């Protein structure tokens, strides 16, 4: 077994009667507006908290009450018990120590941080959603409905059902967002270097002699800017 296998959700645990009694490491992040083709939505900012709880939804309410930031739940790592969760939390904090602000709070690109964590803890790591909508009737964040084209909100709804004891782990295969499947995109090729060309000059009217002149001519247009992932525009 590897050094991090202590938190694996084993087959015996999956088939256990109380299959929803996990204690999970959570990633709660501040939120910000982002514009999509369909309109404005709410996504994560670069400020996030990593802790653990038997019910991250209840823990989110507690953290919100003691914070001046708007917050939402974006990711979890399933652990079989509190001891395992404490060890995984400690490992996550160590892996992101260079981005720590204070206590359990960090500031860094959330997706890059999550990709780093799931490389260390691939078992039980679940990204819940990319974006939230605003429920104007209740004036609160609302995950996209199951099957929505945007985001990976199917995971959010399945996880909520799992924690309520309405869904078994063996009946659930979490989706992995496309951005988590691939490493960071490499920059495009540099523009071709300017080449020195020699262009013939028209003959001098007085002397009748022709001449040449040097010009710096670009070998081609610069590469196109890469679009934002998932077809979204730049966030504000």
* 206 falls within a domain: no
* 218 falls within a domain: no
Instruction: Please tell me the pTM assigned to this model.
Output: 0.70
CA 228 to each of CA 4, 134, 175, 185, 231: distance values in angstroms, whole numbers, following the listed order = 34, 23, 21, 11, 6
* 20 falls within a domain: yes
Which segment, 21-30, 181-190, 194-203, is predicted with the most confidence on average?
A: 21-30
* 227 falls within a domain: no
Q: Is the pLDDT of residue 118 over 70?
A: yes
pLDDT classification of 174: cutoffs 50, 70, 90: confident
Higher pLDDT, 80 or 59: 59
Q: Cα(83)–Cα(113) distance, rounded to whole angstroms? A: 23
- In 78-180 the beta strands, taken as DSSP E runs, fall at 100-102, 105-107, 125-127, 132-135, 140-143
- pLDDT for res 170: 79
Residue percentage of the chain with pLDDT more than 90: 36
Residue 9 has φ and ψ, to the nearest 5°, of: -80, 105
The number of folded domains in the chain is 1
* 151 falls within a domain: yes
For residue 92, the enclosing domain spans: 5-181
pLDDT digits (tens, 9 = 90+) for 207-233: 555 554 444 333 333 333 233 233 322
* 77 falls within a domain: yes
Which segment, 37-41, 93-97, 133-137, is predicted with the most confidence on average?
A: 93-97
State the average pLDDT over residues 167-176: 83
pLDDT digits (tens, 9 = 90+) for 101-112: 999 999 999 999
State the chain's mean pLDDT as an integer: 74
Q: Is the pLDDT of residue 34 over 50?
A: yes
* 223 falls within a domain: no
Report the candidate in 85, 51, 54 with the shortest Cα–Cα distance to residue 71.
51
* 221 falls within a domain: no
């Amino acid at each position: 077994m590897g050094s991090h296998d202590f938190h694996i959700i084993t087959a015996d645990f999956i088939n256990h009667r109380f299959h929803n009694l996990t204690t999970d490491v959570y990633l709660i992040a501040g939120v910000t507006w982002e514009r999509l083709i369909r309109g404005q939505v709410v996504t994560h900012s670069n400020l996030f908290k990593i802790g653990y709880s038997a019910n991250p939804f209840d823990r989110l309410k507690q953290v919100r009450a003691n914070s001046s930031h708007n917050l939402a739940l974006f990711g979890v790592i399933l652990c079989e018990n509190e001891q395992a969760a404490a060890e995984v939390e400690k490992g996550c904090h160590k892996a992101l120590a260079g981005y720590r602000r204070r206590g359990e709070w960090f500031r860094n690109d959330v997706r890059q941080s999550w990709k780093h964590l799931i490389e260390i803890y691939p078992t039980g790591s679940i990204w819940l959603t990319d974006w939230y909508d605003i429920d104007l009737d209740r004036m609160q964040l609302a995950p996209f409905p199951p099957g929505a084209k945007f985001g990976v909100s199917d995971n959010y709804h399945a996880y909520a059902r799992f924690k309520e004891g309405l869904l078994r782990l063996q009946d659930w295969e979490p989706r992995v967002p496309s951005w988590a499947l691939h490493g960071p995109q490499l920059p495009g090729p540099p523009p071709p270097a300017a080449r020195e060309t020699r262009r013939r000059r028209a003959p001098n009217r007085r002397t009748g002699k022709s001449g040449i002149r040097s010009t710096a001519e670009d070998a081609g247009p610069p590469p196109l800017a890469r679009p934002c992932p998932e077809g979204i525009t730049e966030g504000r």
